[in-house]
A and B are shown apart, each in its own frame.
Chain A
Amino acid sequence: MAQDTRHTHESSTKRIWSVFLILSLITLAEVILGIIKPEILTQTYFISLKLINWIFIVLTLVKAYYIVWAFMHMEGETKGLRRAVVWTSAFLVIYLLFILLTEGDYVHEVMQRGPVAWDF
Protein backbone atom coordinates (compact mmCIF):
# COMPACT_ATOMS: atom_id res chain seq x y z
CA MET A 1 0.00 0.00 0.00
CA ALA A 2 1.39 3.39 -0.93
CA GLN A 3 2.23 5.73 1.86
CA ASP A 4 0.97 9.29 2.16
CA THR A 5 3.97 11.32 1.03
CA ARG A 6 2.94 14.51 2.79
CA HIS A 7 3.41 13.07 6.23
CA THR A 8 6.79 11.38 5.92
CA HIS A 9 9.46 13.30 7.73
CA GLU A 10 12.45 10.98 7.71
CA SER A 11 15.29 12.14 5.50
CA SER A 12 16.10 10.21 2.33
CA THR A 13 19.39 11.97 1.60
CA LYS A 14 21.28 8.71 1.33
CA ARG A 15 18.97 7.39 -1.37
CA ILE A 16 19.21 10.68 -3.30
CA TRP A 17 23.00 10.51 -3.45
CA SER A 18 23.03 6.85 -4.45
CA VAL A 19 20.60 7.60 -7.30
CA PHE A 20 22.84 10.50 -8.37
CA LEU A 21 25.77 8.08 -8.46
CA ILE A 22 23.80 5.61 -10.60
CA LEU A 23 22.69 8.34 -13.04
CA SER A 24 26.24 9.68 -13.35
CA LEU A 25 27.70 6.24 -13.99
CA ILE A 26 25.11 5.50 -16.67
CA THR A 27 25.79 8.83 -18.40
CA LEU A 28 29.52 8.17 -18.23
CA ALA A 29 29.03 4.70 -19.72
CA GLU A 30 26.94 6.20 -22.55
CA VAL A 31 29.55 8.83 -23.37
CA ILE A 32 32.41 6.31 -23.34
CA LEU A 33 30.44 3.91 -25.55
CA GLY A 34 29.57 6.80 -27.88
CA ILE A 35 33.22 7.80 -28.24
CA ILE A 36 34.72 4.31 -28.62
CA LYS A 37 31.86 2.90 -30.74
CA PRO A 38 32.96 -0.78 -30.63
CA GLU A 39 32.58 -2.40 -34.05
CA ILE A 40 30.72 -5.45 -32.73
CA LEU A 41 27.99 -3.15 -31.48
CA THR A 42 27.79 -0.83 -34.51
CA GLN A 43 27.67 -3.65 -37.06
CA THR A 44 25.22 -5.97 -35.38
CA TYR A 45 21.58 -5.20 -36.02
CA PHE A 46 18.59 -6.15 -33.91
CA ILE A 47 15.10 -5.35 -35.32
CA SER A 48 16.72 -3.02 -37.92
CA LEU A 49 18.49 -0.94 -35.28
CA LYS A 50 22.17 -1.10 -34.36
CA LEU A 51 22.90 -2.92 -31.11
CA ILE A 52 24.71 0.15 -29.75
CA ASN A 53 21.55 2.24 -30.24
CA TRP A 54 19.50 -0.34 -28.38
CA ILE A 55 21.96 -0.10 -25.51
CA PHE A 56 21.65 3.71 -25.51
CA ILE A 57 17.86 3.52 -25.50
CA VAL A 58 17.74 0.95 -22.70
CA LEU A 59 20.21 2.97 -20.59
CA THR A 60 18.11 6.10 -21.20
CA LEU A 61 14.97 4.32 -20.02
CA VAL A 62 16.83 3.17 -16.90
CA LYS A 63 17.82 6.79 -16.24
CA ALA A 64 14.24 7.93 -16.81
CA TYR A 65 13.04 5.29 -14.36
CA TYR A 66 15.38 6.54 -11.63
CA ILE A 67 14.51 10.20 -12.22
CA VAL A 68 10.76 9.58 -12.12
CA TRP A 69 10.75 7.00 -9.34
CA ALA A 70 13.35 8.49 -6.97
CA PHE A 71 13.52 12.23 -7.76
CA MET A 72 9.88 12.81 -8.65
CA HIS A 73 8.96 10.39 -5.89
CA MET A 74 6.68 8.26 -8.03
CA GLU A 75 7.54 5.24 -5.88
CA GLY A 76 5.64 6.87 -3.00
CA GLU A 77 2.49 7.65 -4.98
CA THR A 78 -0.57 5.42 -5.22
CA LYS A 79 -0.87 2.74 -7.84
CA GLY A 80 -3.65 4.71 -9.55
CA LEU A 81 -1.55 7.82 -10.09
CA ARG A 82 1.44 5.78 -11.23
CA ARG A 83 -0.62 4.00 -13.85
CA ALA A 84 -2.47 7.14 -14.97
CA VAL A 85 0.84 8.78 -15.81
CA VAL A 86 3.09 5.92 -16.91
CA TRP A 87 0.69 3.69 -18.84
CA THR A 88 -0.90 6.61 -20.70
CA SER A 89 2.39 8.07 -21.85
CA ALA A 90 3.96 4.68 -22.62
CA PHE A 91 1.03 3.60 -24.79
CA LEU A 92 0.76 6.88 -26.75
CA VAL A 93 4.51 7.26 -27.26
CA ILE A 94 5.02 3.69 -28.49
CA TYR A 95 2.03 4.06 -30.82
CA LEU A 96 3.29 7.37 -32.26
CA LEU A 97 6.84 6.08 -32.66
CA PHE A 98 5.66 2.94 -34.42
CA ILE A 99 3.61 4.93 -36.94
CA LEU A 100 6.13 7.67 -37.66
CA LEU A 101 9.21 5.45 -37.86
CA THR A 102 7.46 2.93 -40.13
CA GLU A 103 6.29 5.77 -42.37
CA GLY A 104 9.74 7.39 -42.37
CA ASP A 105 11.32 4.11 -43.43
CA TYR A 106 8.73 3.70 -46.19
CA VAL A 107 9.30 7.24 -47.52
CA HIS A 108 13.03 6.49 -47.52
CA GLU A 109 12.44 3.40 -49.66
CA VAL A 110 10.26 5.34 -52.08
CA MET A 111 12.90 8.04 -52.46
CA GLN A 112 15.51 5.37 -53.26
CA ARG A 113 13.41 3.50 -55.84
CA GLY A 114 11.19 6.23 -57.24
CA PRO A 115 11.64 7.86 -60.68
CA VAL A 116 12.52 11.27 -59.20
CA ALA A 117 16.21 12.19 -58.77
CA TRP A 118 16.92 13.80 -55.38
CA ASP A 119 20.60 14.52 -55.94
CA PHE A 120 21.07 16.38 -59.21
Chain B
Amino acid sequence: MEATVDRTGTEGKTWGGGNQPLRVSYGKLMMWFFILSDALTFSGFLAAYGFARYKFSNTWPIADEVFNHFPFMHGVDAPMYYVALMTFILIFSSVTMVLAVDAGHQMKKSKVTLYLLLTIIGGLIFLGSQAWEWKNFIQGTYGAIETKGGNVLQVVNSEGEQVALGDFVVAVPKERVMHERSNGLWFVDEPTLPNYTMDDVMAGFIANPELQIRTQQLTETGEKVILPRAASLAKLQNEGIGVIEGANLKKNEYGNPLFADFFFFITGFHGFHVLTGVLINIIIFFNVLIGTYERRGNYEMVEKVGLYWHFVDLVWVFVFTFFYLV
Protein backbone atom coordinates (compact mmCIF):
# COMPACT_ATOMS: atom_id res chain seq x y z
CA MET B 1 0.00 0.00 0.00
CA GLU B 2 1.28 3.36 -0.93
CA ALA B 3 1.49 6.05 1.70
CA THR B 4 -0.08 9.37 0.90
CA VAL B 5 2.29 12.23 1.43
CA ASP B 6 0.91 15.73 1.75
CA ARG B 7 3.09 18.48 0.44
CA THR B 8 2.94 21.48 2.75
CA GLY B 9 5.62 23.56 1.15
CA THR B 10 7.53 23.82 4.41
CA GLU B 11 9.77 20.79 3.97
CA GLY B 12 13.29 21.43 5.12
CA LYS B 13 12.32 24.57 7.02
CA THR B 14 12.62 24.89 10.82
CA TRP B 15 8.98 24.12 11.59
CA GLY B 16 8.46 21.81 8.60
CA GLY B 17 8.50 18.71 10.77
CA GLY B 18 10.92 15.86 11.06
CA ASN B 19 13.43 17.85 13.05
CA GLN B 20 13.77 19.22 16.58
CA PRO B 21 13.67 23.01 16.41
CA LEU B 22 14.53 23.34 20.12
CA ARG B 23 17.05 20.49 19.97
CA VAL B 24 16.00 18.86 23.19
CA SER B 25 14.24 15.59 23.77
CA TYR B 26 10.51 15.52 24.50
CA GLY B 27 11.12 14.67 28.16
CA LYS B 28 13.50 17.54 28.78
CA LEU B 29 11.25 20.04 27.01
CA MET B 30 8.25 18.97 29.09
CA MET B 31 10.35 19.21 32.26
CA TRP B 32 11.26 22.78 31.29
CA PHE B 33 7.62 23.69 30.75
CA PHE B 34 6.59 22.05 34.02
CA ILE B 35 9.30 24.07 35.76
CA LEU B 36 8.03 27.24 34.10
CA SER B 37 4.47 26.67 35.34
CA ASP B 38 5.71 25.71 38.81
CA ALA B 39 7.85 28.84 38.90
CA LEU B 40 4.74 30.90 38.19
CA THR B 41 2.92 29.17 41.08
CA PHE B 42 5.72 30.08 43.47
CA SER B 43 5.80 33.62 42.06
CA GLY B 44 2.09 33.86 42.84
CA PHE B 45 2.73 32.89 46.46
CA LEU B 46 5.65 35.25 46.86
CA ALA B 47 3.74 38.10 45.20
CA ALA B 48 0.82 37.49 47.58
CA TYR B 49 3.32 37.62 50.45
CA GLY B 50 4.55 40.94 49.04
CA PHE B 51 0.97 42.22 48.95
CA ALA B 52 0.41 41.36 52.62
CA ARG B 53 3.73 42.87 53.55
CA TYR B 54 3.03 46.16 51.77
CA LYS B 55 -0.44 46.25 53.30
CA PHE B 56 0.98 45.84 56.83
CA SER B 57 4.31 47.53 56.13
CA ASN B 58 4.30 49.45 59.42
CA THR B 59 3.53 46.45 61.65
CA TRP B 60 5.24 43.48 59.97
CA PRO B 61 7.40 41.20 62.20
CA ILE B 62 11.20 41.52 61.92
CA ALA B 63 12.50 38.21 60.50
CA ASP B 64 15.85 38.52 62.30
CA GLU B 65 14.06 38.33 65.63
CA VAL B 66 11.86 35.42 64.63
CA PHE B 67 14.47 33.09 63.16
CA ASN B 68 17.41 33.48 65.52
CA HIS B 69 17.99 29.93 66.70
CA PHE B 70 21.00 27.72 66.06
CA PRO B 71 21.41 24.09 67.18
CA PHE B 72 23.35 23.64 70.45
CA MET B 73 23.50 27.41 70.96
CA HIS B 74 20.54 27.84 73.24
CA GLY B 75 19.63 31.40 74.13
CA VAL B 76 22.26 32.86 71.80
CA ASP B 77 20.94 35.42 69.35
CA ALA B 78 21.98 34.03 65.95
CA PRO B 79 19.92 35.77 63.28
CA MET B 80 19.92 34.03 59.90
CA TYR B 81 22.96 31.81 60.59
CA TYR B 82 20.84 28.70 60.37
CA VAL B 83 18.98 29.60 57.15
CA ALA B 84 22.30 30.59 55.62
CA LEU B 85 23.57 27.12 56.51
CA MET B 86 20.43 25.55 54.99
CA THR B 87 21.01 27.59 51.82
CA PHE B 88 24.59 26.30 51.60
CA ILE B 89 23.40 22.72 52.07
CA LEU B 90 20.86 23.06 49.26
CA ILE B 91 23.31 24.79 46.90
CA PHE B 92 25.87 22.09 47.63
CA SER B 93 23.36 19.32 46.90
CA SER B 94 22.69 21.15 43.62
CA VAL B 95 26.42 20.99 42.89
CA THR B 96 26.59 17.24 43.52
CA MET B 97 23.53 16.81 41.28
CA VAL B 98 25.15 18.68 38.40
CA LEU B 99 28.32 16.61 38.96
CA ALA B 100 26.15 13.47 38.66
CA VAL B 101 24.71 14.76 35.38
CA ASP B 102 28.23 15.55 34.18
CA ALA B 103 29.44 12.04 35.09
CA GLY B 104 26.37 10.66 33.29
CA HIS B 105 27.45 12.40 30.08
CA GLN B 106 30.69 10.45 30.30
CA MET B 107 28.85 7.19 31.16
CA LYS B 108 30.68 6.78 34.47
CA LYS B 109 28.23 4.70 36.49
CA SER B 110 30.12 4.65 39.81
CA LYS B 111 30.54 8.43 39.84
CA VAL B 112 26.86 9.01 39.05
CA THR B 113 25.96 6.67 41.92
CA LEU B 114 28.18 8.48 44.41
CA TYR B 115 27.04 11.98 43.45
CA LEU B 116 23.35 11.02 43.44
CA LEU B 117 23.76 9.53 46.91
CA LEU B 118 25.37 12.78 48.15
CA THR B 119 22.49 14.74 46.59
CA ILE B 120 19.92 12.61 48.41
CA ILE B 121 21.75 13.06 51.72
CA GLY B 122 21.90 16.84 51.19
CA GLY B 123 18.17 16.92 50.48
CA LEU B 124 17.41 14.92 53.63
CA ILE B 125 19.57 17.23 55.78
CA PHE B 126 17.72 20.23 54.34
CA LEU B 127 14.33 18.65 55.10
CA GLY B 128 15.42 17.94 58.68
CA SER B 129 16.61 21.53 59.06
CA GLN B 130 13.30 22.84 57.84
CA ALA B 131 11.44 20.62 60.31
CA TRP B 132 13.60 22.02 63.11
CA GLU B 133 12.92 25.57 61.94
CA TRP B 134 9.18 24.86 61.95
CA LYS B 135 9.41 23.35 65.44
CA ASN B 136 11.06 26.49 66.82
CA PHE B 137 8.51 28.71 65.12
CA ILE B 138 5.50 26.69 66.33
CA GLN B 139 6.76 26.47 69.92
CA GLY B 140 7.74 30.13 70.06
CA THR B 141 10.39 31.71 72.24
CA TYR B 142 9.00 34.44 74.45
CA GLY B 143 5.24 34.33 74.36
CA ALA B 144 3.09 37.43 73.93
CA ILE B 145 -0.19 39.04 74.96
CA GLU B 146 -3.11 39.19 72.57
CA THR B 147 -5.18 42.39 72.41
CA LYS B 148 -8.85 42.98 71.71
CA GLY B 149 -7.95 44.28 68.26
CA GLY B 150 -6.16 41.06 67.36
CA ASN B 151 -2.71 42.59 67.77
CA VAL B 152 0.20 41.29 69.78
CA LEU B 153 2.04 42.92 72.71
CA GLN B 154 5.52 41.71 73.63
CA VAL B 155 7.34 42.27 76.91
CA VAL B 156 10.79 43.87 77.02
CA ASN B 157 13.18 44.87 79.82
CA SER B 158 14.77 48.29 80.31
CA GLU B 159 17.46 47.47 77.70
CA GLY B 160 14.78 46.79 75.12
CA GLU B 161 15.50 43.05 75.02
CA GLN B 162 12.53 40.71 74.86
CA VAL B 163 11.62 38.87 78.05
CA ALA B 164 9.93 35.48 78.04
CA LEU B 165 6.62 35.26 79.89
CA GLY B 166 7.99 32.35 81.93
CA ASP B 167 10.73 34.59 83.36
CA PHE B 168 8.43 36.89 85.28
CA VAL B 169 5.01 35.28 85.45
CA VAL B 170 4.12 32.90 88.25
CA ALA B 171 1.18 30.72 87.38
CA VAL B 172 -1.22 30.70 90.31
CA PRO B 173 -3.23 27.52 90.92
CA LYS B 174 -6.54 27.87 89.15
CA GLU B 175 -9.89 26.16 88.84
CA ARG B 176 -10.03 26.34 85.04
CA VAL B 177 -9.40 22.92 83.51
CA MET B 178 -9.00 22.27 79.79
CA HIS B 179 -12.22 20.80 78.49
CA GLU B 180 -11.68 17.48 76.73
CA ARG B 181 -14.03 15.10 74.97
CA SER B 182 -13.40 12.49 77.65
CA ASN B 183 -14.87 14.52 80.52
CA GLY B 184 -17.91 16.14 78.94
CA LEU B 185 -19.88 16.04 75.74
CA TRP B 186 -17.89 13.79 73.43
CA PHE B 187 -18.21 16.13 70.45
CA VAL B 188 -17.03 19.24 72.26
CA ASP B 189 -13.45 20.13 73.09
CA GLU B 190 -11.26 23.24 73.07
CA PRO B 191 -7.74 24.27 72.08
CA THR B 192 -4.90 23.69 74.54
CA LEU B 193 -4.95 26.25 77.35
CA PRO B 194 -1.85 28.50 77.59
CA ASN B 195 0.42 28.01 80.60
CA TYR B 196 -0.50 31.39 82.04
CA THR B 197 -3.73 33.35 82.35
CA MET B 198 -4.06 37.07 81.69
CA ASP B 199 -4.31 37.63 85.48
CA ASP B 200 -0.99 35.83 86.07
CA VAL B 201 0.69 38.01 83.43
CA MET B 202 -0.81 41.18 84.95
CA ALA B 203 0.41 40.24 88.46
CA GLY B 204 3.89 39.40 87.21
CA PHE B 205 4.09 42.60 85.16
CA ILE B 206 3.10 44.79 88.11
CA ALA B 207 5.61 43.03 90.38
CA ASN B 208 8.52 43.75 87.99
CA PRO B 209 8.81 47.54 87.55
CA GLU B 210 11.58 47.34 84.90
CA LEU B 211 9.31 45.67 82.33
CA GLN B 212 7.77 47.53 79.42
CA ILE B 213 5.46 46.69 76.52
CA ARG B 214 6.57 46.56 72.90
CA THR B 215 3.88 46.98 70.25
CA GLN B 216 3.77 45.70 66.68
CA GLN B 217 4.16 49.26 65.36
CA LEU B 218 7.42 50.01 63.51
CA THR B 219 9.27 53.34 63.76
CA GLU B 220 10.75 55.21 60.80
CA THR B 221 14.06 53.38 61.29
CA GLY B 222 12.39 49.98 61.35
CA GLU B 223 12.37 49.29 65.08
CA LYS B 224 9.37 48.27 67.17
CA VAL B 225 7.78 51.00 69.34
CA ILE B 226 8.35 50.50 73.08
CA LEU B 227 5.78 52.12 75.39
CA PRO B 228 6.79 53.88 78.64
CA ARG B 229 6.04 51.99 81.87
CA ALA B 230 2.77 53.80 82.69
CA ALA B 231 1.45 53.48 79.15
CA SER B 232 2.51 49.83 79.14
CA LEU B 233 0.43 49.08 82.25
CA ALA B 234 -2.57 50.91 80.83
CA LYS B 235 -2.26 49.10 77.50
CA LEU B 236 -2.11 45.70 79.19
CA GLN B 237 -5.06 46.46 81.46
CA ASN B 238 -7.30 47.95 78.79
CA GLU B 239 -6.54 45.80 75.78
CA GLY B 240 -4.95 42.53 76.87
CA ILE B 241 -7.31 39.57 76.57
CA GLY B 242 -5.09 36.51 76.56
CA VAL B 243 -1.74 34.84 76.17
CA ILE B 244 -0.22 33.53 72.92
CA GLU B 245 2.66 31.07 73.02
CA GLY B 246 4.19 30.14 69.68
CA ALA B 247 2.54 30.37 66.29
CA ASN B 248 -0.10 28.56 64.30
CA LEU B 249 -2.36 29.48 61.39
CA LYS B 250 -4.62 31.68 63.57
CA LYS B 251 -2.33 33.23 66.16
CA ASN B 252 1.29 34.26 66.10
CA GLU B 253 3.29 35.51 69.09
CA TYR B 254 5.73 37.28 66.74
CA GLY B 255 3.09 39.61 65.30
CA ASN B 256 0.77 39.48 62.33
CA PRO B 257 -0.81 36.01 61.86
CA LEU B 258 -0.41 36.43 58.08
CA PHE B 259 3.36 36.20 58.59
CA ALA B 260 2.91 32.73 60.08
CA ASP B 261 0.39 31.72 57.39
CA PHE B 262 2.71 32.66 54.55
CA PHE B 263 5.68 31.10 56.32
CA PHE B 264 3.89 27.78 56.74
CA PHE B 265 2.44 27.84 53.25
CA ILE B 266 5.46 28.93 51.22
CA THR B 267 8.19 27.03 53.07
CA GLY B 268 5.79 24.11 53.39
CA PHE B 269 5.09 24.03 49.66
CA HIS B 270 8.81 24.32 48.98
CA GLY B 271 9.54 21.57 51.52
CA PHE B 272 7.00 19.36 49.74
CA HIS B 273 8.93 19.95 46.51
CA VAL B 274 12.18 18.99 48.25
CA LEU B 275 10.50 15.85 49.60
CA THR B 276 9.25 14.75 46.17
CA GLY B 277 12.67 15.66 44.73
CA VAL B 278 14.38 13.39 47.26
CA LEU B 279 11.91 10.56 46.49
CA ILE B 280 12.46 10.87 42.73
CA ASN B 281 16.23 11.03 43.30
CA ILE B 282 16.02 7.80 45.32
CA ILE B 283 14.12 6.05 42.50
CA ILE B 284 16.67 7.25 39.94
CA PHE B 285 19.49 6.23 42.30
CA PHE B 286 18.27 2.62 42.36
CA ASN B 287 17.77 2.68 38.58
CA VAL B 288 21.40 3.74 38.22
CA LEU B 289 22.46 0.97 40.62
CA ILE B 290 20.70 -1.78 38.66
CA GLY B 291 22.13 -0.39 35.43
CA THR B 292 18.93 0.76 33.71
CA TYR B 293 20.58 3.78 32.11
CA GLU B 294 23.76 1.86 31.31
CA ARG B 295 21.61 -0.48 29.18
CA ARG B 296 19.64 2.43 27.74
CA GLY B 297 22.86 3.96 26.56
CA ASN B 298 22.34 7.41 28.11
CA TYR B 299 21.80 9.04 31.47
CA GLU B 300 19.25 11.57 30.29
CA MET B 301 16.85 10.62 33.09
CA VAL B 302 19.42 11.87 35.62
CA GLU B 303 19.55 15.13 33.65
CA LYS B 304 15.76 15.58 33.74
CA VAL B 305 15.54 14.89 37.47
CA GLY B 306 18.53 17.19 37.88
CA LEU B 307 16.57 20.01 36.23
CA TYR B 308 13.81 19.57 38.82
CA TRP B 309 16.30 19.45 41.68
CA HIS B 310 18.03 22.66 40.55
CA PHE B 311 14.64 24.31 40.27
CA VAL B 312 13.93 23.48 43.92
CA ASP B 313 17.24 25.13 44.79
CA LEU B 314 16.34 28.13 42.63
CA VAL B 315 13.04 28.62 44.47
CA TRP B 316 14.81 28.45 47.82
CA VAL B 317 17.16 31.24 46.74
CA PHE B 318 14.11 33.49 46.28
CA VAL B 319 12.35 32.33 49.45
CA PHE B 320 15.57 33.00 51.39
CA THR B 321 15.76 36.54 50.04
CA PHE B 322 12.15 37.56 50.48
CA PHE B 323 11.42 35.79 53.76
CA TYR B 324 14.64 36.25 55.66
CA LEU B 325 16.65 39.09 54.13
CA VAL B 326 14.38 41.79 52.73
Contacts and interface: CB of A to CB of B under 8 A. Distances in A.
B94 A11 contact: no
B150 to A, nearest CB: 9
Interface in A82-112: 84-85, 88-89, 92-93, 96-97, 100-101, 103-105, 107-108, 111
Interface string B287-326: 0000000000010100000110011011001101100111
A100 B99 contact: no
B128 interface: no
Interface residues on B, range: 35 or more
Nearest to B32: A85
A116 B129 CA distance: 42
Contacts of B22: 77-78, 80-81, 84
Nearest to B97: A71
Nearest to B14: A80
A101 B99 contact: no
A23 B298 CA distance: 29
A78 B23 contact: yes
A53 B326 contact: yes
A67 B317 contact: yes
B173 interface: no
Contact of B36 (A34, A64, A88, A101): A88
Interface in A13-67: 13, 16-17, 20, 23-24, 27-28, 30-31, 34-35, 42-43, 53, 56-57, 59-60, 63-64, 67
A6 B47 contact: no
B43 interface: yes
Contacts of A6: 25, 298, 300
B325 A20 contact: no
Contact of A60 (B51, B56, B321): B321
B29 interface: yes
Given A27-B87, A56-B321, A67-B317, A89 B36 contact: yes
Contacts of A12: 102
A23 B239 CA distance: 48
B54 A104 contact: yes
Interface of A is mostly: helix
B95 interface: yes
A87 to B, nearest CB: 11
Given A6-B298, A67-B94, A57 B23 contact: no
A71 B54 CA distance: 34
Contacts of B147: 119
B273 interface: no
B149 A56 contact: no
B314 A34 contact: no
Interface string B96-123: 0111011001100000000000000000
B40 interface: yes
Contacts of A72: 306-307, 310-311, 314
B113 to A, nearest CB: 17
B21 interface: yes
A30 B23 contact: no
Among all A-B residue pairs, the 4 with the closest Cβ atoms: A104-B54, A104-B51, A60-B321, A100-B51
24 contacts: A5-B24, A6-B25, A11-B102, A11-B105, A16-B95, A16-B102, A24-B91, A30-B321, A34-B64, A34-B324, A43-B221, A57-B321, A67-B317, A68-B314, A71-B313, A72-B307, A72-B314, A73-B101, A85-B32, A89-B36, A93-B43, A105-B54, A120-B148, A120-B149
